[in-house]
Structure 1
Amino acid sequence: MITYLLKSGLLLAVFYAVYKLLLENERMFRFNRAYLLGSLIFSFIIPLQLFTFNPLFESGLNAIQLEGIEIRTSRAPINENYLLEYMFAILKRVYAIVAIVMGLRLILNVLSFFKKINRKEIRSVDGVKVILTDEAVLPHSFWNAVFVNKTEFEMGKIPSELLIHEKAHLEQKHTLDILFVAVLQTVFWFNPFLSLFRKAIKLNHEFLADEAVNKQFGEVRSYQNLLLEFASNKQTVALASNLNYLITKKRLLMMTKEKSPISMVFKVSSVTAVSVLLLIAFNSQAVAQTSFSEKNANNNRISEKTNVKQPQFPGGIEKFYMFVGQNFRMPEEFSKHKMEGKLFVEFMVEKDGSLSEFKIVKDLGYGVSDEVIRVLKLSPKWIPATENGQAVRVLYSLPITLQASK
């Protein structure tokens, strides 16, 4: 799960950086909308690795990283592991509580909109459902209706440009985008990039709505002045498309920015290339190093490399851990100095199931490396790995935590 979250977070970061560098200042609002929404979907779907690509260069060698074992001469538990498990349990509870609270708030906000749509006074203006409300808010839209202040509407203070602006939000189904991001923020509330994507999506919505108004009326300068007049501190609504959302210099400049076909083609091509590279990078079969948990390595599961069965210690990986723990003898010098730490050892499971090529990647000294290699040499033969029915060699990496009695 942690690996999935890290991968999705990395993808969101890359896609957002690409948007800021290449797309944000271009007048291709529909493509940008598709890109932003597609980036969100891509970032949370691709790490699931529903399908994979064969890597361009295969090493012909599988490598498995085991979870590791602990060997100690005292019966006292290692407090570090206990604290990590305790902290992880607390974090899971915090995550669940926050997600539930945010989910309930989202549901209540959506229900409140539908309640207004069904109970408030309704008018129809140029085929648009207009909901009259007593709240002092600027015109905003949600689902299939535009919400405006009743007094201002009856006094004719709502310019037609503003209603066309909100009508564009409805016709282009911008509410669905906002709800989609809101659901993602509820589930992945700890991910800061979702807020950045939400801001970018809503601003792009305004670009699209502004474009619709200027296309119909053709009075850009007049419309800009109108927006500035309505920019105020009036209440806005989070789930709705708000008229004065980020009325910034950038938004006003985008109305008169000229399109550059050459620049647009170059940037679309660049974005496509980046997307394809990320797709391949995050879905290539892990041949050089495949990480397995203890449970995965404990049975005849197929690895991420198609038609490859992992080696099996007689009785399963738990039996292997027990074998190492029962045969390991803590060196006197290590115990004498009351040492502790983590040792990393690599070994090869050959085609006939025997172990070879023992290598200490990280040593703790005092003879522990010699003892680890001595124990591994005592191991009975494993059931060898197979690829497409043929026996293959597999490299294992095993961390061993050692703690002498205090």
Structure 2
Amino acid sequence: MSFAHYLLQVNLYLIVFYGFYKLLLDKETYFSLNRAYLVTAGLLSLFIPFIRLEWLTEQKAAQQVYTSVNWEAVLQQATIVTESNTGFNWGSAFVYIYCAGILFFLGRLVLNLLAVKNLINTAKAGSAFSFLKNKIVDQDLPLVDVIDIHEEAHIKQWHTVDILFFEILGVITWLNPIIYFYKKSIKNIHEFLADEQAAKFQGDKAEYAMLILSQSFGVSPNRLANGFFDKSLIKKRIFMLQKERSKKIAIMKYGFFIPLFALLIVFSSATVRKNKKLIAISEQIPLEKPIEIVQEMVAPKEEFVNERLSKSVIKPSTEKIDGNWTNFYRFMAKSIKYPVDAQKNNLQGNTQIKFTLKNNKVTNVSTVLDLGDGCDEEVMKSLLSYKDFKNLPDGNYVLKVDFRLTDNNSKIKNEKALLLPSHKKLSDINVIGYSNPVRENITDEKIDKIYDFVSIEKQPEFPGGIKKFYEYLSKSIKYPKLAQENNVQGKIFLSFIVEKNGALTDVQITRGLGSGTDEEAVRVISGSPRWNPGLAEGKAVRVKYNINVNFTLSSENDQGTTPDPTVKTQNLLLRSTEKNSSIKLSDGTFNGVVVIDGIRLLNNNLLSTLDPNDIESISVLKDQLATNSYGYKAKNGVLLIATKAGKKNNLLMKSDQKEITINKPSAYDIKQ
């Protein structure tokens, strides 16, 4: 139950209770009973919204018999992102205004309390009032002893507590004008009670009334205090003082409060049930116009891969049901799922839902038997999702759904159904789920953790090194014909997980090109031979790995391709070319590792002796990829140079008249 819904009920009950008071009790002289009624009405208005009728009733049960038909469902998981709404929201504005009002009236209450404290400390001449246990009466006033008895009555009967209670209630319900009538009525009753005590002490009501009238120009205290000289109450005080006492039979009027209280409990119980279930469920019902958008589809979690799905079973009723209900049963059987929470908690049992069908619309949906853990809500959601009631007869119906777990001996909740003579019974539906398998020896929190490539002591590696992996990709990846025809070029960003057994799983395209290039890259990487797994703390772990695949179409007149100096991850370059242009190396010192035709140079100065015309291709490795392949000295990068003389050892191959060259991005200058 939301706070707004709670406030709505509180204000409604305050109005109903006060209406009853004004209608039957206001004119009676049973002031103590009236006082008790008003205070009780305020308290009950605060607490009735929390009272449930189910606490006060005992449910009877009956037996049910049925047969079944099976079906199977398919699970799918999606990430849903609610579409943002930047427009003005009246609901939010009302909440802000209401909260601002609460703060304002709370501040005013605090200021009034401080004013009363100051009034007690600096009482003026002619003052006569009381607050809690504090009594201020000017001893120079006429008949001071009578006034003193009046104020003493306020203190002994704790009238200030009533006033403070309604002041606090008024802070919460400040928007409801009825609360101000409560405040006025309770103050009137306080004065009537105190006047009774003072008049009894005086011995003459007429003389006491003259005392009140003669002091009508006295000093009025703060509205939180009980003041003898309250000008706004003098007329009514004198009237009630002289009024004939109510007859004893009038006490019977107070008895009508009991059925009123019971009626409000029934109303609250129905409202709470609707709020907790129907309102929450309605948010899950698919709408004709979506209010949410699906941003991405996510594969089912690994823990559900081998989990058997739940199935629903229709069990026909022994009563004769119109054949038009067939589509309804079929829909419900496919729609109802066994809630995950219920499966985890090994909950099985029966839920009964009653509803009214009128003019093709379902109303008055509520539970007859509550099962819990989302089972009741699941049935209601499916019921309210069904739209094809146009050929079904109007009436009151009750639907029983049995939730059962296979291979589970847990207690059946609500095993016996209730009989509702006023509702026509529909065929039962049985939802069969499977108990969660017990996972043994899962105590290590890191067992399924996915590590980052650079955060472990030993990175995963393809057998034979990263060059062998590129060789595998070179031999396996084909430039899709559709991509060539559409002149599709560019980079595909992929990620995959190297499992503890070396297998590559969860191959995902984080950014693709289309035209068959994405599928081709995923196909080849998914079929990769097993890697040597990464190690953390001496144990094999799951490691996430990233790679880029660059599909490039080049003509015979293209100049040499200069790798992108900003990209730091692995990159696979696929060319469609018949001829390579010459490449010249820039002068300068290179402090990394140089490998020519697979042979590592001990002296990098030998680069200056290399004729650029003899170079077939150049590749560059850097960062983690370089150190993994060639050790710590490769931290400044690795130059892989293939010469024309060593072409037979280079990573080149002819395939469908296309030359596929493996290349890497570089942060170093490679000038043409």
Q: Give the TM interval when normalised to the shorter protein.
A: 0.5 to 0.7
CA distance in structure 2 between the partners assigned to 1:137 and 1:388 by the alignment: 75
Report the Cα offset of residue 292 of structure 1: 3.2
The yes-or-no answer on 1:389 pairing with 2:375 is no
User: What letter matches 1:321 in structure 2?
Assistant: P
CA distance in structure 2 between the partners assigned to 1:94 and 1:56 by the alignment: 44
CA distance in structure 1 between the partners assigned to 2:262 and 2:104 by the alignment: 37
Q: 1:227-279: CA deviations, max 9, x gaps?
A: 11112384441101122333354432322333344423321222233223333
2:130 is aligned to 141
User: What letter matches 2:93 in structure 1?
Assistant: I
Report the Cα offset of residue 101 of structure 1: 2.4
User: What letter matches 2:116 in structure 1?
Assistant: F
CA distance in structure 2 between the partners assigned to 1:50 and 1:173 by the alignment: 32
Report the Cα offset of residue 53 of structure 1: 4.6
1:185 is aligned to 170
What SS is found at the alignment partner of 2:206?
helix
CA distance in structure 1 between the partners assigned to 2:154 and 2:288 by the alignment: 66
2:94 is aligned to 91
Deviates more, 1:176-185 or 1:107-116: 107-116
1:362 is aligned to none
Report the Cα offset of residue 138 of structure 1: 4.2
Report the Cα offset of residue 223 of structure 1: 0.5
Give the conservation status (yes or no) of the 8 Å contact 2:286–2:385: no
Report the Cα offset of residue 24 of structure 1: 1.3
User: What letter matches 1:162 in structure 2?
Assistant: I
2:286 is aligned to 321
Give the conservation status (yes or no) of the 8 Å contact 1:9–1:191: yes
What SS is found at the alignment partner of 2:336?
coil
2:107 is aligned to 104
CA distance in structure 1 between the partners assigned to 2:137 and 2:22 by the alignment: 33
Report the Cα offset of residue 41 of structure 1: 0.4
CA distance in structure 2 between the partners assigned to 1:392 and 1:202 by the alignment: 51
Give the conservation status (yes or no) of the 8 Å contact 2:331–2:386: no
CA distance in structure 1 between the partners assigned to 2:267 and 2:10 by the alignment: 13
Report the Cα offset of residue 218 of structure 1: 1.5
User: What letter matches 1:97 in structure 2?
Assistant: A
How many pairs are equivalent?
303
Instruction: From the superposition, tell whether residues 156 and 162 of structure 1 become closer, same or farther in structure 2 (CA, over 3 Å).
Output: closer
CA distance in structure 2 between the partners assigned to 1:54 and 1:173 by the alignment: 34
Question: Higher relative contact order at CA 8 Å, sep ≥6: structure 1 or structure 2?
Answer: 1
Report the Cα offset of residue 31 of structure 1: 1.0
Give the conservation status (yes or no) of the 8 Å contact 2:216–2:234: no
Give the conservation status (yes or no) of the 8 Å contact 1:143–1:173: yes
2:516 is aligned to none
1:65 is aligned to none
2:260 is aligned to 274
Instruction: From the superposition, tell whether residues 108 and 261 of structure 1 become closer, same or farther in structure 2 (CA, over 3 Å).
Output: same
Report the Cα offset of residue 156 of structure 1: 4.5
1:162 is aligned to 147
Instruction: From the superposition, tell whether residues 34 and 392 of structure 1 become closer, same or farther in structure 2 (CA, over 3 Å).
Output: closer
What SS is found at the alignment partner of 2:12?
helix
**Runs of at least 5 residues in structure 1 that lack an aligned partner in the other structure:** 61-75, 121-132, 299-316, 327-349, 360-372, 401-406
Q: Which of 181, 205, 208 is the equivalent residue of 1:196?
A: 181
Instruction: From the superposition, tell whether residues 290 and 186 of structure 1 become closer, same or farther in structure 2 (CA, over 3 Å).
Output: closer
CA distance in structure 2 between the partners assigned to 1:32 and 1:143 by the alignment: 21
User: What letter matches 1:88 in structure 2?
Assistant: G
Q: 1:127-178: CA deviations, max 9, x gaps?
A: xxxxxx23x66411111122345xxx3x454632222111111111111111
CA distance in structure 1 between the partners assigned to 2:350 and 2:247 by the alignment: 55
Give the conservation status (yes or no) of the 8 Å contact 2:53–2:265: no
Q: TM-score, normalised by structure 1?
A: 0.62
Q: Which of 21, 24, 27 is the equivalent residue of 1:22?
A: 24
1:71 is aligned to none
Q: Which of 241, 244, 259 is the equivalent residue of 1:258?
A: 244
What SS is found at the alignment partner of 2:256?
helix
User: What letter matches 1:381 in structure 2?
Assistant: S
CA distance in structure 1 between the partners assigned to 2:351 and 2:266 by the alignment: 28
What SS is found at the alignment partner of 2:286?
helix
Of all paired residues, the percent bearing the same amino acid is 26
2:229 is aligned to 244
Instruction: From the superposition, tell whether residues 325 and 244 of structure 1 become closer, same or farther in structure 2 (CA, over 3 Å).
Output: same
Larger Rg: 1 or 2? 2
**Runs of at least 5 residues in structure 2 that lack an aligned partner in the other structure:** 63-82, 292-310, 316-321, 354-378, 388-672
CA distance in structure 2 between the partners assigned to 1:392 and 1:222 by the alignment: 70
Deviates more, 1:47-56 or 1:14-23: 47-56
CA distance in structure 2 between the partners assigned to 1:7 and 1:353 by the alignment: 40
Report the Cα offset of residue 285 of structure 1: 8.4
What SS is found at the alignment partner of 1:389?
strand
2:46 is aligned to 44
